[in-house]
Amino acid sequence: MVQSPGRVNLIGEHTDYNDGCVLPAALDLATWVAAAPRDDGRLRTVAARLGEADDVPLSDLRPREGPPWTRYVRGVAALLQEAGCTLPGADLLIDGDLPLSGGLSSSASLELGVGLALAELAGWAVDRRDLALLAQRAEHEFAGVRCGIMDQFAVAFGQAGHVLLIDCRTLEVEPVPVPGDVRILVLDSAVPRTLAGSAYNQRRAECEEAVRQLQAHYPAVLALRDASLEMLAAAGLEGVVLRRARHVVTENARVLESVAALRRGDVAAVGQLMCASHTSLRDDYEVSGPELDALVEIADDTPGVYGARLTGAGFGGSCVALAAAPQSETAAALIMDHYRQQTGRAGQAYVCTPVQGVHVLRDLANL
């Protein structure tokens, strides 16, 4: 059995596919994958929470009709085999307490959980970095979302009590401790993430257009990570392309400032950077919505909260907030009461601490 966490990103949104930096953590909300071998060359999967199943031959895993989640499972199995992992067949039972479509990377959590479970069954030693890259490819090729590497790396490399500074160009991961008197609040808006795939790919294309325009003046620019606000102005970027690029450039700086602030224990400064991040995502990147804006505003006005922002791709999903540990439970409850009254949405708050990344649970008797 494998436990595969979800992730929440503290700051650094839509920077990963621009070669920038991100600061996520693995969450104590997870997907569990129980696996047993078969010898008939079939991959049979039951998704317990959805009451759905998939039964396909390992020799033919290309996407066909079927519930969306099957693409992640089949994609990971197909790419593992392509990488040389021999699978004789498997039964997988998937369950968990990670909200689905909540912007907490239930897809990456599923990909890594299935990947590690199948590799383990096959006795195939797999490196975490390779598994994360393989899972990202599964998402590109089987689900059609051109995601960056943040989610898969957060799920793969999570460390208890730490956020991870990931440089998405070099793929270096540096754990940064979260002060012990601080809690991460995950605030699920209960607005399902709609249009996430198509609007996400569109944002990515707009960033590529910004790079193309920058390169006419600055040939050394390979990605928006290499640009500054002065360069955006000098290259004459305008309109939507300018706003998208401005978000990425300022957000990348906010990640590095947040790490510096965390290291000196200045949580209030991190909170302010989170609020600035949300404003930029709302106005320049245009991936927020009325409910996410309401959640951030409410959280911000709640005693004990340092700051809040939408987390993940946006277009629905969740917000993340930082709160003082002693007030965190009360703050979470207050925020959700207020949110429900204001929007009529159910919503759900979780007081989280960062946990270890995907791993095999060997001693099931003692769970």
Stretch that binds ligand GLA, among 13-21, 80-88, 297-305, 345-353 (CB under 6 A): 13-21
CB of 31 or CB of 105, closer to ligand GLA: 105
CB 9 within 8 A of CB 24: yes
* Measured distance CA(284)–CA(112) in Å, rounded: 32
| Least distance from ligand GLA to the Cβ atom of residue 208, Å | 14
* Measured distance CA(182)–CA(162) in Å, rounded: 11
- State the CB neighbour count (10 A cutoff) for residue 346: 11
CB 18 within 8 A of CB 35: no
CA angle at 141 for the pair 138 and 145, rounded to the nearest 5°: 90
284 given a catalytic annotation: no
Site for ligand GLA in 72-131 (CB under 6 A): 105
Distance of alpha carbon 331 from the chain centroid: 24
Site for ligand GLA in 139-198 (CB under 6 A): 147-148, 150-151
| Least distance from ligand GLA to the Cβ atom of residue 200, Å | 7
CB of 32 or CB of 285, closer to ligand GLA: 285
Stretch that binds ligand GLA, among 8-16, 89-97, 292-300, 337-345 (CB under 6 A): 8-16
137 binds ligand GLA (CB under 6 A): no
285 binds ligand GLA (CB under 6 A): no
CB of 3 or CB of 105, closer to ligand GLA: 105
16 binds ligand GLA (CB under 6 A): yes
Those residues whose C-beta lies under 8 Å from the C-beta of residue 334, and which sit 6 or more positions away, are 302
Residues 292-321, mask of contacts with ligand GLA (x by CB under 6 A): --------------------xx--------
Q: Where are the alpha helices (DSSP H) in the chain?
A: 69-82, 106-121, 128-138, 150-157, 196-217, 229-234, 239-263, 267-283, 290-300, 328-343
Phi, psi (rounded to 5 degrees) for 38: -125, 160
Positions marked active-site: 151
Return residues touching ligand GLA (CB under 6 A): 13-14, 16-17, 105, 147-148, 150-151, 312-313
